[in-house]
Amino acid sequence: MSPTPIQETGSRAPKSQQSLTIARSAGDEAIGGTVTASINGQEVKVPLGTTILAAAEKIGVRIPTLCHHPDLCVAGVCRVCVVEVEGQRTLQAACAFPITSPIKVLTHTRKVRQSRRHVIDLLLSEHYGECYACGRNNNCELQGLAKEYGVDFFRFGHPSKPKYEIDRSSYSVIRDNDKCVLCRRCVRTCIDLQEVGTIEVAGRSDKSYITTFKDKPLGDVVCINCGQCINRCPTGALRANDPTDEVWAAIDDPKKHVVIQTAPSPRAAIGECFGLEPGAPLTYELNTALRMCGFDRIFDTNFTADLTIIEEGTELILRLYKALVGKDANIALPQFTSCSPGWVKYLEHFYAEYIPNLSSAKSPQQMFGAVIKTYYAEKHGIDPKDIITVALMPCSAKKFECNRSEMDDSGYKDVDYGLTTRELAKMISEAGLELPKLPKSDFDAPFGTATGSGVIFGATGGVMEAALRTVIELVTGTKVESLFEKANIIPVRGFEGVKYVELPINEVGPVPDILKHLVPDWNWLKGATLKVAVAHGTANAKKVMEDIKAGGKFSECHFIEFMGCPGGCIGGGGQPIPTSPEIRSARAKAIYAEDAAYEVRKSHENPDVLTIYNEFLTDGPCGHKSHKLLHTHYVPRGKYIE
Partner 1 sequence: MLMTDRERLAGEIKALAEKHGNCRTALIPIVQEIKQKYRKVDDFAMQVIADQLGIHPVEVYSVVSFYAFLGSAAHGKYIIRLCRTISCDMQGKERVMRQMENDLGIRFGETTADGKFSLEWANCMGMCDQGPAMLVNEKVYTHVTPEKVHEILEECRRSFGVHATEQKEVYLV
Query: What residues are labeled active site?
Result: 312, 315, 339, 359, 398, 401, 406, 569
Query: 83 to each of 96, 185, 234, 625, how far by Cα in Å?
Result: 11, 21, 21, 66
| Under rule CB under 8 A, residue 6 binds partner 1 | no
Q: Measured from the CB atom, is 189 or 359 closer to partner 1?
A: 189
Question: Which one-letter DSSP state was computed for residue 224?
Answer: -
396 binds partner 1 (CB under 8 A): no
Minimal distance, residue 222 CB to partner 1, in Å? 8
Q: Taking CB under 8 A as the rule, does residue 365 contact partner 1?
A: no
Q: Which member of 73, 122, 168, 213 binds partner 1 (CB under 8 A)?
A: 213
Minimal CA–CA distance to 548: which of 343, 360, 362, 335? Answer: 335
How far apart are alpha carbons 182 and 127 in whole angstroms?
10
Element (H, E) at 258: strand 257-262
Q: Is residue 177 within the footprint of partner 1 (CB under 8 A)? A: no
Residue list 486-515, contact with partner 1 (CB under 8 A)? none
Q: Pick from 3, 5, 8, 16 the residue near partner 1 by CB under 8 A.
A: 16
14 vs 150, which CB is nearer to partner 1? Answer: 14
Interface segment toward partner 1; rule CB under 8 A; list 275-283, 326-334, 372-380, 633-641: 633-641
Q: Is 623 a binder of partner 1 (CB under 8 A)?
A: no
- Cβ of residue 16: shortest distance to partner 1, in angstroms? 7
Given 5, 14, 60, 551, the residue binding partner 1 (CB under 8 A): 14
CB of 202 to partner 1, least distance (A): 4
How far is Cα 131 from Cα 136, in angstroms, rounded to an integer?
8
CA distance 409 to 387: 15
> Closest approach of Cβ 4 to partner 1, in Å?
21
The residue among 599 and 642 lying less far from partner 1, judged by its C-beta, is 642
> What is the per-residue burial (b if ≥16 Cβ within 10 Å, else e) of 553-569?
ebeebbbbbbbbbbbbb
CB atoms < 10 A from the CB of 534, how many? 29
Of 83-91, 214-222, 416-424, 432-440, which segment contacts partner 1 by CB under 8 A? 214-222
Is residue 437 a contact residue for partner 1 (CB under 8 A)?
A: no
The residue (of 14 and 254) whose beta carbon lies closer to partner 1 is: 14
Q: Of residues 193-212, which lie at the interface with partner 1 (CB under 8 A)?
A: 196-204, 211-212
**CA–CA gap between residue 129 and residue 132 (Å, rounded):** 9
DSSP string, 430-465: HTT--GGGSPP-PPPSSS----HHHHGGGSTTHHHH
CA 208 to chain centroid, in Å, comes to: 29
456 lies in the site for partner 1, by CB under 8 A = no
218-277: contacts with partner 1 (CB under 8 A): 221-222
Binding part of the chain for partner 1, among 190-198, 357-365, 488-496, 588-596 by CB under 8 A, reads: 190-198
- Strands 200-202 and 104-106, by their bridges, are unpaired
> How far apart, in whole angstroms, are the C-alpha atoms of residue 77 and residue 67?
7
| Residue 33 DSSP SS3 | coil
Per-residue x/- track, 154-173, partner 1 (CB under 8 A): --------------------
The three-point CA angle 635-638-642 to 5° equals 110
Q: Between 213 and 354, whose beta carbon lies closer to partner 1?
A: 213
Q: Please report, as residue ranges, which positions from 55 to 84 form the binding site for partner 1 (by CB under 8 A).
A: none
The three-class DSSP label of residue 506 is coil
Sequence-separated (6 or more) residues with CB below 8 Å from residue 208: 182, 201, 202
- Does the protein bind partner 1 through residue 547 (CB under 8 A)? no
Distance CA 517, CA 180 (A): 58
Applying CB under 8 A, the site for partner 1 has a residue count of 23
User: From the centroid of its chain, how far is CA 176?
Assistant: 22
Looking at beta carbons only, is 350 or 443 nearer to partner 1? Answer: 350
Among residues 191, 270, 425, 583, the one that binds partner 1 under rule CB under 8 A:
191
Query: Which residues bind to partner 1, rule: CB under 8 A?
Result: 12, 14, 16, 191, 196-204, 211-214, 221-222, 639-642
